[in-house]
Amino acid sequence: MGPIPLQRDTVHRPTTAVSGRRDDPPPVVRTSLPGVALTPSAARGFVRAALAEWTGLGVPAAAGFSDRLADDAVTVANELVTNAVVHAGTTVELLLRLEEASGSETAALVTEVTDHHPARAVRGEGSGTGQAPVPDPTEYGRGLHLVATLAESWGVTYRTGLKTVWARLRLDGWSGAAGPSEEAVVQHGLRAAEILAPASRRIERDDADWDSRAALSFLAEASDLLAGQLDEDLVAAIAGQLLVPRLADWCAIWLESEGSGAGAVPRLARVWHSDESDTEQLRTVLEKEPPSLPGSTGTGPVPVPWPGVGAGRQDPCPIPAEHGEAPDGGAAPLAGGRDGAALAYRVTAGGRTLGTVLVGREGVARVPDEVASLIEDFVRRVGLAVGAARAYTRQATISRILQRGLLPSKVADIPGVSSALVYEPGDDGVVGGDFYDIFACPGDRWCFVLGDVQGSGPEAAVVTGLARPWLRLLSREGFGVGEVLDRLNRLLLDDAMEAAEAAALMVAAAGGQQILDGSQSRFLSLLYGEVVPLPGGGVRCTVASAGHPLPLLLGPDGSVRIAAEPQVLLGVVEDVAYESQTFDLAPGESLLCVTDGVTERRSGPAMFDDGDGLARALEGCAGLSAEGIADRIKRAVHDFAERPPDDDLALLVLRAD
């Protein structure tokens, strides 16, 4: 991917004065990047180019650009763009905006990264001024802990079809009260070159600074950043940025495939170099020479050959007396002219090997013992984070498979009726409680179901797995709508309660967690109906609602009325007789059925269905097809709040043709 041109915003350009000269530099630059693997690298180059241009132009706020600000801005852009590429996979819009100091607000650099997949939620959003918010530790691991640590504030904005994550970096040392000094103006060109080519600045590293207090502070910070990541590749990415340049000039992280047997080749998950121009060369060399640690190696440091000179050695990992001393007793040359010392560490968790971390320091014959030991402690934390990420991935995969198994692979077509289904499970990696079904029954009947088990996880999955086949069985036995609910209620009070409690005990035993209340998961809200085609067109519907949001009937003229009566949840009261309501669905009329993920969608204290919000949204759907109504309601639910829905969302539309 070639250089990314700066695309200037031509709308808001303040006039600034530099050394008596009036200039018109752009305070905003932006670019559009494809959702591919090379995009984060292009984004990093774009950020440095923008900062260099503003510095060269003498923009007043650029006087607050420090090496740390430049590095933090590159890191923030890298993490946000990586997040967008990995989790959204769409085209990415990157925007940088300089904010001059105003009133109590300090000057700042704002980074915005926008993708086109708002349904992919960013967990732990936060915004505000003053102190950066801390992301929710249950998030899927999107590098936002790192962004929150670096940024003064950050947040997420959702718009129709777009999701923007922004971060505000404070420009320390620049108040905006006065223009840059003459000396600063003279140095504009040199400073711009330094920002654009950071490799020319050697990092001054003083190992004497790593006393016990500094080491503990570093490990505490690392633990906090790594603990919130539930994606192993992002664990590797953050680990690399923590190691380089603080403790090493470069590092590489290999991860072994889960369940791979002996002889499997680990994959090179991350390569990080303090000089970005050397990263790809280093990656190429390392891909040809993956580390091969002896089986007896523990978690401590193992000196290895410098990349580019280890090929062909019979014993790639001899262990000399000094940490990091080259195998031949001196520093080995790197393919590229530089030399140094390299150490390998085994990544483990729970006694299992998960990968290898390789670090290198240029221009030295050995790595100091205190630094080697600090890296060893750090790698232990990396292993714990990778192990947790893999455990979460396994749970999420099982949940997705279980969720698919609990829902019908195909729903029946009802003669004379067009139908549309929308189902969006909550984005928390846990099996939800919503389910649906449409199926044929003897006697020229078709039945439809929309249900919601209270709770989530294995207990809810057990109840869903029982309720749906029970409904099909009872319906095909010829019971009426009310009778089906009566019998299902008794079954839930017996078998489902026992099964849910057993599932709760199994979860507690497997994870060592507190025993869950399986009795709550037997509660089921259900909308169940029967459809019979009429000879003259349209259909006759018989429905019953048990603790479920009531169905709405939409007329061709836009009128909306409730089509059922509220009744108690299933699985709560033992002696209850459920009643049904019957009505005709004439051609052009539509029936809308939803779960509480629609009606209870929140925006602050308000809910979507407050003041009959669902009925008002449905009124505007007159004349639309079943698919059109479903899409209109779904968009209204999503647009109701900036945050994406955090509950399962299901809706069913039946329209008489």
If asked whether residues 450 and 598 sit together in one domain, one would say yes
Of 503-512, 546-555, 561-570, which gets the smallest average pLDDT? 503-512
pLDDT at 317 (0 to 100):
37
Omega before residue 137 within 30° of 0, cis: no
pLDDT grade, residue 563 (50/70/90)? very high
Two structure tokens written together for 67: 């090496």
Q: Kindly state whether residue 510 falls inside one of the protein's structural domains.
A: no
pLDDT at 68 (0 to 100):
78
**Does residue 481 register a pLDDT over 90?**
yes
Radius of gyration of the chain (CA): 31
- Kindly report the CATH number assigned to the domain that includes residue 145: 3.30.565.10
**Smallest Cα–Cα separation from 647: which of 501, 479, 430, 385?**
430
Q: Kindly state whether residue 537 falls inside one of the protein's structural domains.
A: yes
Last residue of a domain, one of 200, 217, 243: 200
pLDDT grade, residue 499 (50/70/90)? low
Range of 415's domain? 407-456+522-569+577-656
pLDDT at 453 (0 to 100):
84
pLDDT at 182 (0 to 100):
44
**Does residue 218 register a pLDDT over 70?**
yes
If asked whether residues 51 and 171 sit together in one domain, one would say yes
CB 516 within 8 A of CB 528: no
**Smallest Cα–Cα separation from 287: which of 275, 279, 295?**
279
**HSE of 649, CA atoms in CB hemisphere, 13 A:** 23
If asked whether residues 195 and 221 sit together in one domain, one would say no
Of 175-184, 318-327, 454-463, which gets the smallest average pLDDT? 318-327
What DSSP character marks residue 357?
E
| Bigger pLDDT: 120 vs 320 | 120
**Does residue 412 register a pLDDT over 80?**
yes
- Kindly report the CATH number assigned to the domain that includes residue 558: 3.60.40.10
pLDDT at 245 (0 to 100):
87
**Does residue 179 register a pLDDT over 50?**
no
**Does residue 13 register a pLDDT over 60?**
no
pLDDT at 59 (0 to 100):
78
Over residues 248-273, the mean pLDDT reads 83
CB 550 within 8 A of CB 528: no
pLDDT at 172 (0 to 100):
67
Burial of 624 (0-12, 13-18, 19+ CB in 10 A): middle
Last residue of a domain, one of 165, 200, 235: 200
Q: Which residues of 395-422 are buried (b: 16+ CB within 10 A; e: fewer)?
A: bbeebeeebeebbeeebeebeebebbbb
Q: What is the pLDDT of residues 614-636, one digit of tens each?
A: 999 999 999 999 999 999 999 99
If asked whether residues 451 and 309 sit together in one domain, one would say no
pLDDT at 193 (0 to 100):
58
In the block, tokens 């590429």 appear at 85
pLDDT at 258 (0 to 100):
76
Cα separation of 422 and 202, whole Å? 56
Q: What is the pLDDT of residues 84-140, one digit of tens each?
A: 887 777 889 999 998 877 766 778 899 999 988 776 655 444 433 333 344 333 333
pLDDT at 38 (0 to 100):
74
If asked whether residues 154 and 225 sit together in one domain, one would say no
Report which listed range, 15-19, 166-170, 207-211, is most confident: 166-170
pLDDT at 148 (0 to 100):
79
Q: Kindly state whether residue 470 falls inside one of the protein's structural domains.
A: no
Q: Kindly state whether residue 295 falls inside one of the protein's structural domains.
A: yes
Which strand (E) or helix (H) includes residue 54?
A: helix 39-57
Domain count, the chain: 3
pLDDT at 54 (0 to 100):
84
If asked whether residues 535 and 620 sit together in one domain, one would say yes
| Bigger pLDDT: 462 vs 374 | 374
- Kindly report the CATH number assigned to the domain that includes residue 256: 3.30.450.40
pLDDT at 70 (0 to 100):
85
If asked whether residues 196 and 211 sit together in one domain, one would say no
Over residues 450-474, the mean pLDDT reads 80
pLDDT grade, residue 175 (50/70/90)? low
pLDDT at 656 (0 to 100):
94
Q: Kindly state whether residue 473 falls inside one of the protein's structural domains.
A: no
Two structure tokens written together for 520: 């709550």
If asked whether residues 368 and 416 sit together in one domain, one would say no
pLDDT at 328 (0 to 100):
44
If asked whether residues 386 and 425 sit together in one domain, one would say no
Three-state SS string across 360-412, please?
EEECCCCCCHHHHHHHHHHHHHHHHHHHHHHHHHHHHHHHHHHHHHHCCCCCC
**Does residue 297 register a pLDDT over 90?**
no
pLDDT grade, residue 579 (50/70/90)? very high
Last residue of a domain, one of 397, 423, 441: 397
pLDDT grade, residue 432 (50/70/90)? low
Q: Kindly state whether residue 344 falls inside one of the protein's structural domains.
A: yes
Over residues 244-255, the mean pLDDT reads 92
Q: What is the pLDDT of residues 41-100, one digit of tens each?
A: 788 888 988 888 888 777 777 777 887 788 888 888 988 888 888 777 788 999 999 887
pTM for the model stands at: 0.54
Over residues 194-198, the mean pLDDT reads 58
Which strand (E) or helix (H) includes residue 224?
A: helix 212-227
Cα separation of 72 and 66, whole Å? 10
| Bigger pLDDT: 32 vs 407 | 32
pLDDT grade, residue 495 (50/70/90)? low
What is the DSSP annotation of 553-594? EE-TTS-EEE-S---PPBTT-SS-----EEEEE-TT-EEEEE
pLDDT at 408 (0 to 100):
77
Over residues 346-363, the mean pLDDT reads 91
Two structure tokens written together for 457: 């996880």
If asked whether residues 68 and 127 sit together in one domain, one would say yes
**Smallest Cα–Cα separation from 279: which of 346, 340, 199, 339?**
199
Two structure tokens written together for 405: 């198994």
Cα separation of 570 and 578, whole Å? 10
| Bigger pLDDT: 120 vs 252 | 252
Average pLDDT, the chain: 77
**Does residue 15 register a pLDDT over 90?**
no
Over residues 513-528, the mean pLDDT reads 62
Which strand (E) or helix (H) includes residue 283?
A: helix 279-288
| Bigger pLDDT: 498 vs 452 | 452
Over residues 412-427, the mean pLDDT reads 87
| Bigger pLDDT: 469 vs 58 | 469
Bridge partners for 441 per DSSP: 445
If asked whether residues 39 and 129 sit together in one domain, one would say yes
| Bigger pLDDT: 125 vs 454 | 454
Number of residues written out for the chain: 657
Q: Kindly state whether residue 464 falls inside one of the protein's structural domains.
A: no
Cα-based torsion angle of the residue sequence 516, 517, 521, 525 in order, rounded to the nearest 10 degrees = -130
**Does residue 320 register a pLDDT over 50?**
no
| Bigger pLDDT: 76 vs 38 | 76
Which strand (E) or helix (H) includes residue 11?
A: none
If asked whether residues 352 and 421 sit together in one domain, one would say no
Over residues 520-536, the mean pLDDT reads 85
pLDDT at 447 (0 to 100):
95
Report which listed range, 136-140, 355-359, 502-506, 510-514, is most confident: 355-359
Q: Kindly state whether residue 484 falls inside one of the protein's structural domains.
A: no
CB 278 within 8 A of CB 336: yes
Over residues 495-500, the mean pLDDT reads 55
